Amino acid sequence: MTIQEAQEKVDNWIKNFGVRYFNELTNMALLTEEVGELARIIARKYGEQSFKERDKENSMEDEMADILFVLICIANQTGVDLNDALEKNLTKKTLRDNTRHLNNEKLK
Per-residue pLDDT of 54-99, as tens digits, reads: 777 789 999 999 999 999 999 999 999 999 999 999 999 999 988 8
CA nearest neighbour of 7 among 64, 67, 75, 66: 75
Question: DSSP readout, 4-24?
Answer: HHHHHHHHHHIIIIISSPPPH
pLDDT at 52: 79
With a cut of 90, say whether residue 103 has pLDDT above it: no
Structural domains of the chain, with CATH: 3-81 (1.10.287.1080)
In this prediction the pTM is 0.89
**SS3 state at 58:** coil
Per-residue pLDDT of 33-60, as tens digits, reads: 999 999 999 999 999 988 877 777 789 9
